[in-house]
Amino acid sequence: MAEPSRVRDSVAAMVEAVSGTIPVTVKHRIGVDHEDSYGFVRDFVGTVSQGGCETFIVHARSAWLDGLSPKENRDIPPLRPEFILQLRRDFPALAFVLNGGIKTGQQIGEWLPQVSGVMVGRAAYQDPWSLATWDREFLGSADSAAPEREIVEEQMGAYIAAWKAKGLHPQAITRHMLNLWKGQPGGRRWRQVLSDSSLLSTLSVPELFATARRARLSAEGDEAMECNQPSQLGQLGQPLTASACV
């Protein structure tokens, strides 16, 4: 961002190379270190758009390169989504996608009418099932119900098997779906099976997923039994032991 003319020239070269077959987009912050005024990001967009970029994906934080780690840069610099709204007003012919701090469907619903689109980052990775209803809610899908997790698991198993046949290690894909059953009974045991390097190396993909499924269902049954056990009470009627069932 400190060299917008270089970004403009790079975009122009990419636009020429793809010859209109795919769009060339730019993802950027709203500022760098102490250069964090609206005028700075406005001028950046104005310069880069001259290279042919029509869509800007804007993380609504500045990048504080001096003093913050990459992890800290994801949370500490304050969000300034009003900058994106002003960019839309100043550049009505361009598309602006809001990124940063968007974690829930409710937030998506609040922001979509105001911007060209929203980008959900790590929240989608950490809780992928939160995306299950978004096609229907925000993209006009005619499906009335979200898919079942079991069906997604089965389809992913077939997809992984196909890639394994081409020489790809299953873990290259399974590590990105470990949160499929997050927050569900038995989800931790399912995740442990798909993270086990020994099982990943020795079992076929159908065997791996069958093992994970059995582990999940077994743990789910154990948790249900724990929830149905009567409490042990002491002399004063207070529970001697307690367990949480979620």
Cα-based torsion angle of the residue sequence 118, 121, 126, 132 in order, rounded to the nearest 10 degrees: 30
Full-model pTM: 0.79
pLDDT for the residue numbered 246: 30
- pLDDT of 136 reads 85
- 56 - beta bridge partners? 26, 96
| Average pLDDT of the residues in 180-197 | 96
Task: Dump pLDDT digits (tens) for 114-136.
Answer: 999 999 988 989 999 988 888 88
pLDDT digits (tens, 9 = 90+) for 40-91: 999 999 999 999 999 999 999 999 988 889 888 888 899 999 999 999 999 9
Whole-angstrom distance, CA of residue 13 vs CA of residue 189: 49
Residue 144's contacts (CB-CB under 8 Å, 6 or more residues apart) are 136
| Mean pLDDT of the 186-190 span | 96
**What are 36's two structure tokens?**
């964090």
Domains of the chain by start residue, with CATH: 4-138 (3.20.20.70), 149-228 (1.20.120)
Mean pLDDT of 179-190: 96
- pLDDT (mean) for 161-165: 97
Tally of residues, the chain: 246
pLDDT-derived band of residue 237, with 50, 70 and 90 as boundaries? very low
Better-scored residue on pLDDT, 89 or 36: 89
Residue 214 has phi, psi (to 5 degrees) of -65, -40
- Retrieve residue 71's tokens: 């992890």
Q: What is the pLDDT of residue 79?
A: 94
Label residue 235 by pLDDT band (50, 70, 90): very low
What residue type is assigned to position 16 of the chain? E
pLDDT higher than threshold 80 for residue 141: no
User: Cα(109)–Cα(119) distance, rounded to whole angstroms?
Assistant: 12
Query: For residues 43 and 46, what is the distance between their CA atoms, to the nearest angstrom?
Result: 5
Place of tokens 């997809």: 159
What's at 114, amino acid-wise?
Q
d(CA 53, CA 15): 8
Question: Is 18 buried (19+), middle (13-18) or exposed (0-12) by CB count in 10 A?
Answer: exposed
CA-based nearest residue to 45, from 86, 81, 14: 86
Q: What is the pLDDT of residue 8?
A: 98
pLDDT at 212: 97
pLDDT of residue 239: 37
